[in-house]
Every structure is written in structure tokens, then in C-alpha cells.
Amino acid sequence: MKFSGMVGFSWTEERLIDGEASGIFDTHTEERHYKGDVLNMSYGFQKNNQVNDDAKVSKRISFVADPFAFSHFPGITYVVWMGFKWEVTNVEVNYPRLILSVGGIYNG
């Protein structure tokens, strides 16, 4: 199965005031579009103490990474796939590809 969607990157930076460190940190998020392959997929529900169970997807997505993705891969937080944001639980670097393990729905 093919993948074509957005990958969300997040990182924090210290805010500079008059060119000096302020001790205040801002979180930045950027989405980038990538194409690749869905390596495997399974779908189910995770039991919890809520009224409705959480949707749980277990899949791996592989895509050829650009320089931005390689330099920011520790900050990959979610993947947009099938109309939902899914949480990235693991990133495997297999040059020239990044392989993302995806779990439940992202709530960030």
C-alpha cells in the first residue's frame, strides 16, 4: 500500500529578547508532505477506563527523507493518514529512508 501524507515535526527554541536568552521556550510545529510505503498494518481498540475505547493502529510507514527530515527526525510526532493524525511511536533511520512506527490517534 502506498502512503502520501503530511508528517508533523515539533521542536522547542528559546525566545531571544534583545538578542539575549530569556529562559522562555516556544514550541514550533511544521508539517511536510512525503510519499512512501505502508509496510504493514493492523487495527484494533485499546481498552481503557473511558466510555469509548481508543482506536489503535499498528503500522510502519517508510519514506525517502530529505535533508530537513534527517536533521529533525527526533522531533517527528505525528503522521496524517486516512484523515487522522496518528502518533509516531518510533523512528528508524535506514538511509536514505526513515521508517515510522505509528500507534494511536495523536492528541497533541
pLDDT for 19-71, tens place per residue?
A: 888 899 999 999 999 999 998 765 555 566 665 556 566 789 999 999 999 99
Q: What's the predicted TM-score (pTM) here?
A: 0.78
Q: CATH fold of 2-105, please?
A: Thrombin, subunit H (2.40.10)
Domain locations in the chain as residue ranges: 2-105
Rounded to whole angstroms, the maximal C-alpha distance in the chain is 51
Nearest of 12, 3, 50, 4 to residue 30 by alpha carbon: 12
Q: Kindly report, residue by residue over 80-97, the tens digit of the pLDDT.
A: 988 999 999 999 999 999
Across the chain, mean pLDDT equals 87
The confidence score (pLDDT) of residue 1 equals 86
